[in-house]
Chain A
């Protein structure tokens, strides 16, 4: 079955740029969405259509997609960015949605 693959963890020092990747064979044909989830809370949409930011989301977050890999970048990482980040997309037909396994961002 189709899967989205994310690294389990990413660690960066404060002020650096964190990059979280999401790989999937259908990504050239489907948008990627990104969600942030802090411990004990519901997920929050932070990027849609690969690179668009919803209102209220920090400009430090940006996204890109090329070929079978989408990337979420967080510049000037702060302690408040520490969370689990999930990518989400769909299969080639856009019928079935799915999430990546999630990436735990640790701010050192």
Chain B
């Protein structure tokens, strides 16, 4: 069955960057966008952007533009989200989720989440 497996927890210092991976399996990687969603402690879901694995094109939420980069490595069916210039406000759980490119369906498979802690 379709599955997204994310990399492990990270602890970073303010000003550093973090790169989270999302390994897809059980489906055709290039047929689905990969979205990234952040959830700060005790807060709601925040959409960060998506990448089209087929073309490499990405779209970022305005809040993160200039600090976030989403990439993919198609041969190993893995997506990446890198966030730079970290502050304590970037602490939280980062999820990846897939969404079909050619049909309207929503984010139907999610990763388990990666916890990022930003602390000096």
Interface residue ranges, A against B (CB under 8 Å):
1, 31, 33, 35, 37, 42-45, 48-49, 54, 84, 86, 88, 95-102
Tally of contacts, chain A with chain B, CB under 8 A: 59
| Chain B count of residues within 8 A CB distance of the other chain | 21
Given contacts A88-B47, A102-B44, contact A31 B104 (CB under 8 A): yes
Hey, which chain A residues are within 8 Å of B62, CB to CB?
A: 1, 96
Hey, which chain B residues are within 8 Å of A44, CB to CB?
A: 110
5 pairs of residues in contact across A and B, judged by CB atoms under 8 Å: A1-B62, A43-B45, A49-B105, A99-B46, A99-B47
Q: How far is the CA of A98 from the CA of B47 in the complex (A)?
A: 6
Interface residue ranges, B against A (CB under 8 Å):
35, 37, 44-47, 50, 59, 61-62, 95, 97, 104-108, 110-113
A76 to chain B, nearest CB (A): 24
A17 to chain B, nearest CB (A): 23
Q: How far is the CA of A45 from the CA of B104 in the complex (A)?
A: 13
